[in-house]
Structure 1
Amino acid sequence: MNKIIHIYTDGSSKGNPGPGGYGIFIETFFSNSYNRKIISQGFRYTTNNRMELLSVIVGLEKIENKKQNIVVFTDSKYIVNTVQKKWIYNWEKNNFHNKKNVDLWKRFLNLFYKHFVLFQWIKSHNYHYINDYCDRLSVEATQKKNLKIDYVYEKKL
């Protein structure tokens, strides 16, 4: 039996831009075993789309072995459409000319090419218990002390 990995993600910002955070729930199924990881982090000043994308990136970074079968569940049409409609390949070909969050999209692609990743869109705030949990994690992360700095975003200001 192959290992199957599900990564549930959500990102948020209070104000856009404003304090932001992400929440991630990773579950791994292999043979008769089941493992999970829960991750969240807050940032002092960022955007919702950056946090949505960073949640996917951090989730993928936690997968140590290459060429894994991964399904990413997200409520972000920004991410799902970019990948499923193959916009990302044209963006990359054009060196992300006039695109936002270039630093994160490049970081994402390095991880995306290492695995077999599918994206599944989930309607937000629609009583999907894991998506709702990730939403709560992302919001709570914005309220923590010692928020991280999104250096790339803040540098542009």
Structure 2
Amino acid sequence: MIRIFTDGAAQGNPGPGGYGVVMKYKDAVKELSEGFRLTTNNRMELLAVIKGLEAIKKDGIPITIYSDSKYVVEAVEKGWIWGWQKKNFAKKANADLWQRYIPLHQKLKPKFVWIRGHAGHPENERCDYLAVKAAQSYTLLVDQWYEQNKNNSAAE
């Protein structure tokens, strides 16, 4: 089983943000993180999940994603994303990221587990550290979609 631990952070919401991912498969551990100059916490929470899934090289291995984001976990586990998709994500925040997530979900079929953030869970704490560090780095990327649509998109 592949276990993916994720977290997102934003210094201000919106503000500089980042995501952190810790992936575990057998004895292998891989960490991912990036920072963006202007984004939101929810975007970074969802992008962490997407980046973790995009990093998977083999199909057919069960995947469990551990996230402290009720926004992400409930949207998937309660099936909200399918209703949003039917309505073409009208008035939905982060439509670009949800549209990027859906094909990954359909291909890899991950399961989600919600974990309480900042509660001493080692991998969640590591993801939080990676996300915050990325948000504070000197080389922040541009969250292109967010910056172009922030005045027109649904509230976070």
Cα distance between partner residues in 1 of 2:94 and 2:11 = 18
Q: 2:8 aligns with which of 8, 11, 28?
A: 11
Stretches of structure 2 that go unaligned for 5 or more consecutive residues are 151-156
Q: CA deviation at 1:82?
A: 0.4
User: Whole-Å Cα distance in 1 between the matches of residues 34 and 87 of structure 2?
Assistant: 31
Partner residue of 1:21 out of 6, 18, 22: 18
Q: What is the identity percentage for the equivalent residue pairs of Structure 1 and Structure 2?
A: 48
> Which of 108, 120, 135 is equivalent to 2:113?
120
For 2:60 and 2:147, the matched residues in 1 are separated by 34
SS in 1 for 2:110: strand
SS at match of 1:126: coil
Kept in 2: contact 1:68–1:116 (CA 8 A): no
Displaced runs of 4 or more, over 4 A: none
Listed as ranges, the gaps of 5+ residues in structure 1 are none
1:109 is paired with a residue whose SS is helix
For residue 35 of structure 1, what is the aligned residue in structure 2? 28
Compute the RMSD of aligned alpha carbons: 0.8
Q: In the alignment, which residue of structure 1 is the partner of 2:72?
A: 79
Letter in 1 for 2:135: T
By how many angstroms is 1:93 displaced? Answer: 1.3
The code of the aligned residue for 1:87 comes to W
SS across alignment from 1:37:
strand
- The one-letter code sitting in structure 2 at the alignment partner of 1:97 is A
Q: Aligned pairs, how many?
A: 150
Contact 1:10 1:131 in 2 (8 A): yes
1:119-146: CA deviation from partner (whole Å, max 9, x where unpaired): 0000001010110110011001011111
The structure richer in strand per residue is 1
What is the Cα deviation at residue 116 of structure 1? Answer: 2.5
Q: CA deviation at 1:92?
A: 1.0
* 2:107 alignment partner, SS class: coil
TM-score, length-normalised on structure 2?
0.94
2:95 maps to which of 94, 98, 102: 102
